[in-house]
Structure 1
Amino acid sequence: MSGGCCKLITGRPTAPFQKEETVSLRWLGSNTRASALPTPHTLVRAVYIGRACIAVAIYLAAALKFKVAAPLDILVTSFVLVATAVVTIASYWHTHVRGRAPGLTFLYSQALFDVALVTTVVHVTGGPQSDLTSLYVPLIAVTAVLMPPRSAALITTLVGLVYIADVFFGHSTPLTPDVAIQLAVFVTVAAVTAYVASRVKLMGAEREALAGELRQARLEAADVLRNIPTGIVTVDPEGRLLYTNPAAEAILGFREREWQGRPIMPEFARLAPEFWAALTATARRGVRAMRVEAVVRRHDRTFLIGVTTTTLDGAPGEGPRVTAIFSDISDSKRLERLRLRAERLEAVAELSSSLAHEIKNPLASIRSSVEQLARASRANPDEKFLTSLIVRESDRLSRLLSEFLDFSRVRVTECRPLDLHQVAGAAIRLVREHPDCPADARIELLGGPTPMEGDEDLLHRVVSNLVLNAVQAAGKEARVTVRTGRPEPHQLPGGAGIDNPVALAVNDNGPGIPENVRARLFEPFVTGRVGGTGLGLAIVQRAVDAHRGLVLVDSTLGQGTTFTVYFPAARRREEAA
């Protein structure tokens, strides 16, 4: 059926950017819910009312003229009234009480009954001379709207045939120009109504398609905003919260349901003053912030966010709304610091290599000369003491230069498949035999087989340096845990760029690393241990960089330290070539 539809509004809550869900009763011949035509329920109800009025009117007309009316007319009008009442009540119960959408059979039955009713009324009131022949016009028009074009044409043809039959056989009247004009009017009304109805349906279908695309776009936009890791906040000119997505709640640590429609700017000023300042500047002066950095100070942690703001036009007479788009950039900042650290270490390594070569050969000559002087028979005790001191310090300086050369020569020379877990086990066994490893130290290896591609010698040095540092830092009753395996996706910092990573974690129960030392921990000659050279962790950093990995340190004073190293499980094609 054409012309529109009915909507049932469900009781489920609506989501952002989503209107109330509707369930349409799609009537036969209708493909739209957004039609400009009256709905089928409205048209059918109008048919019921018009039908009842006609039956009652014709019956009252016959009853009031009872004395002059023929008995057959009284009988016919009475039958028409009763039949109309029965059919109308049954039809109303079917469509409006039971809520059933009328099918084509139902519509045909209604149209046939209405044709019979109007023809009876026209016959009783004079046939071609009746003033009620115009009742055929709304009948044809409503049929053209409610039924498909072919069905409407069939009903129109039936109306014409029945009317001609009544003219010729019911009243024995020849075909006059008036009758021909009436038939032409019937056909014209049917054609025009059907054409207009089809055009309106087409427009409604186009509008419904556009509305559907808009609803889909809104749903997709809402879904994207709910799932992106970037926070979005919109406030009105008075600073009231209009919209926020889950990422914004997670980053700033507030709940939308607690602040929706309420002034939230004081809370932003408390959490992140720079964030509040960017929103305020945009609201007051229209200055859009681009990639502004703000510090968020929550009760559980402090971190950086990057903020961009923009304005949206509000209602007429109101100021602009301000939208802030922001994200946690602490991981990217951390990775940037790591890259800078790696670049500095590379520069230091090149300089160290040059200096070590320039110093080591003259130092060997000096040591040899001093030893010869010490062996001379004329050397007195003071001279022998001084020469032994020079030799001892020369040896220490030579060892330091050797470590410098080791630091500068950290390169991946032989990359092959290996098990990081086995490499860690071998390094732990070596550390247990080291003179600096306390006898009561407990080193535990956890995890399982961890296949990867790498330089076994460099990886062995990474593990041994980290484990030795851990037992030395923890001292007596050292408890060190080494774990290998595959990390969870959320454990790797965003933007690390390590494909298919494997992880090595070394945790100790030592005193922790002071903040001033932690910031420069991987630089050469930086150490928190008395007597340390400060090159062990620098070598670790260089070896990890050579494998295109990443090393992170987390330490809390009094609670120990954890070094976590991430390696790619396989080399890149261009590296393997």
Structure 2
Amino acid sequence: MTTHASSIPSFDHDELIQSHPVPTLLIDSGGVVLFVNAAAEQLCNVSRSAMVGRVIYDVIQMDRSYRQRMNDAATSALFAHRAEITLGGRKSVFVDMQMVPYGQSGHRILALIPSQSDTELMGGAIGRSSRAAGAAASMLAHEIKNPLAGIKGAAQLLARKTGAGGERFTTLICAEVDRIATLIDQMEHFSRGQPILCGPINLYQPIHQAMETARARQFPGVRFAEDFDPSLPLVHGNHDAMVQILLNLVTNGCEALAGRDDGVVRIATAYRHGLSIDNGDGRGRIALPIEVSVSDNGPGVPRDIRGDLFDPFVTTKREGRGLGLALVAKLARDMGGTVQHMRDGDWTRFRVHLPVAQAKGRG
């Protein structure tokens, strides 16, 4: 057997890390900076000589929970998405922070990957197009609000001439007009990156409004079932956002049952102990014990799109636009919660998990 000398050149690991485009630092078990590559110097706007020998959180300002974990020799790994840090006394930036062990002496490699927006990743062209789309959306919102005001006025006039049975529907029309107008305002805020206003809400109020609206549409062959936990505490959320989430999910379930005479859409609430999420903002895991689920016994979502179900423009409907579930996911996320899809036997389930409202006087 003939052996050949390897043609693969040997690498200087220090030189390789030094030239790596990802900002990278080497810290010891106590968080002292031992090595900084050129990309980290550029990101921090601080020279290598000014960083080496200092404790990492004296160089990079970050949340106390991150400082404690980096200063703890027992913490060898750390992963945080969109962690907010301050570099070199400048304004705060968001990074994906990854810390992994290196060698046997307790040293750790810390990588700071800047979290870029879609506009930054795609360049200025998408920024210009998004601004144009935002302006078009504002004009469209203005044009929608005008007829909405007319619809509400007509419903209020009709309410004066109708009996008690009709008054129920005119009241619903007015409530839906108000909700849609508020939703338009919120969508304009979304385009500017502003968060929705959240506070303590009774979950059953938006559930009742969404179910009333769905029943008024009279989906043939569909029966509604309810399974509620009456002891749920107040939820941290937004009433109109919850109505939109529930109405989208209930409507999707009803439309999935089209043509059947044994369809069931079931809405349920429950308190789930142990559910939590880490948003990567330094606060650690946030409990999400409040669950509201919408289920249907329809055919379910095709397997090939289940992983992309909450992405924009993904849809199984011939006339659909694929924006409903993307909006559901965004609204849930903006309230600090999550939404999940699962296939459970003959049932398709969408589960929204939300935090409990904080008691007054607590941070």
User: TM-score range with shorter-chain normalisation?
Assistant: 0.3 to 0.5
TM-score by length of 2: 0.45
TM-score (norm 1): 0.29
Instruction: Name whichever structure is richer in helix by fraction.
Output: 1
Which of 1 and 2 has greater Rg? 1
